[in-house]
Amino acid sequence: MSALLEDRETPDRARLLETNASAWEERLRLLSQAEESIVLATFDMRDGESTRDILSVLWHKAEEGVRVRILVDGVSGFLRLGGRALFETLQAHPNIEIRLYNPVGLHSLLTPWTTQGRMHDKYIVVDDLAYILGGRNTFDYFIGEYPADHRSLDREVLVYNGGHGGPAGRESSLYQVLDYFHQVWNSQWCAPFGGTPGEGERRETEELLSERYDALTAEHPGLLAPGFDYAGCTAETQGVTLLSNPTHIYAKEPVLFAQLVALMEEAEESVVLHTPYAVLNGAMADALTGAADGVPVTVMLNAVENGDNVVASSDYTWHRDQVIGTGVELLEYAGGLSYHGKSMVVDGELLLVGSYNLDLRSTYVDTELMLAVRSPELAEELLASMDALHGSCRLAAPGGDVVPGGLDIPPPSWTERALWTGLGLLLQPVRVLV
């Protein structure tokens, strides 16, 4: 992994997307630039305002002749896409194809163990121009500023191929992402999304998408215009590399985790790691301990009072001392909104952003991606964003927790404590699925 810590020539320029508003804006802008191809892969896609905005642009581009491919995790597709005219109408368009990774079907009743293989990837690729990759799923919880019951803090990277359209562009990491996409898309684990809309539903949905696109164009004419200057809003990089887990549906070798640990062990100054939660086994805890023995390692995750994943919070209640015992500086975020970002900065020069959570499922079960970007400029920007969040954190230490002045963390109710304790106990035999 040492090559990631060294400078190399690349046409790639990059920008961090720190807010849900920027995620919405840059998706619509990037999709609007498409002339030939759009790829959208997501763990979870749900109907909603931001989703309809995105789909209206996809529909418009498909009408212009652009090939659109959408890849969604099978369980999420079963729960969120099936039987809905919005997605069935998209699939019926001759230039749009939707596939599900490890789809749920009658065979799932006979082989229930296979249903746990999930595709946790999230990225969008447009032509050979640019891509977005990170931790955001495709619905209002993560994208845009439409009214929603809940929101989440997250992070992505936009990478612009400065050599697009020419031979130099072939050296872009964009082609690493496309190669990965084709590996999954064409694998035995993917199947077409089924369902056919009724004629009336199809016409109504087509009209909805067309009218929505017209409204977006009228309200945001510059956002959906072609020819955007990506070079002017991105930073130079000294190398971008895609890291990934195996893509089959069965139990996996911890490839991505091993790569991240190798980068931690090669660090000379410091490591800062953000993850929504931590669910570790002994081997993972030992690896984290070894990294912390070499350089200061800071880990930030959600305080159980702040997180939105009750299952992960329940496990953490039982194993919190194990995480503290690794020797990392353990910060528990309690800023109000649940934190969903997955990021790491090594020595203030290399940053990684993607979908990988520091848990057993991301390590041994799911497909996962992390994008490694060598850029001191962006690493400094990311560290500043991380540091701002650290001000709303409780320090979990062996000698007792430390809460900074001004940070108010409402104590959990006895029912919450009972739920975390009881559920955590019940889940111990199947922690790998947490």
Q: Residues 326-351: pLDDT tens digits?
A: 999 999 999 999 999 999 999 999 99
Q: What is the mean pLDDT of the chain?
A: 96
Q: Tell me, what's the pLDDT at 107?
A: 82
Kindly report, residue by residue over 363-400, the tens digit of the pLDDT: 999 999 999 999 999 999 999 999 999 999 999 999 89
Element at 186 (helix H, strand E): none
CATH of 2-233, one of 3.40.30.10, 3.40.190.10, 3.30.870.10, 3.40.50.2300: 3.30.870.10
**Does the pLDDT value for residue 308 go beyond 80?**
yes
Q: Tell me, what's the pLDDT at 318?
A: 96
Q: Rounded CA gap, 434 and 426, in Å?
A: 11
The tokens describing 378, both together, are 């962006």
Beta strands in 150-275 (DSSP E): 152-153, 156-161, 190-192, 235-236, 240-244, 271-274
Q: Rounded CA gap, 287 and 294, in Å?
A: 11
Q: Tell me, what's the pLDDT at 213?
A: 98
Q: Tell me, what's the pLDDT at 4?
A: 81
pTM to 2 decimal places: 0.97
* Architecture of the CATH domain 245-433: 2-Layer Sandwich (3.30)
Q: Tell me, what's the pLDDT at 106?
A: 81
Q: Tell me, what's the pLDDT at 5?
A: 75
Intervals of CATH 3.30.870.10 along the chain = 2-233, 245-433
Alpha-carbon distances, residue 361 vs 116, 172, 252 (angstroms) = 9, 30, 10
Kindly report, residue by residue over 109-125, the tens digit of the pLDDT: 788 888 999 999 999 99
**Does the pLDDT value for residue 2 go beyond 80?**
no
Q: Tell me, what's the pLDDT at 341?
A: 97
Percent residues over pLDDT 70 in the chain: 100
Q: Tell me, what's the pLDDT at 34?
A: 98
pLDDT-derived band of residue 285, with 50, 70 and 90 as boundaries?
Answer: very high
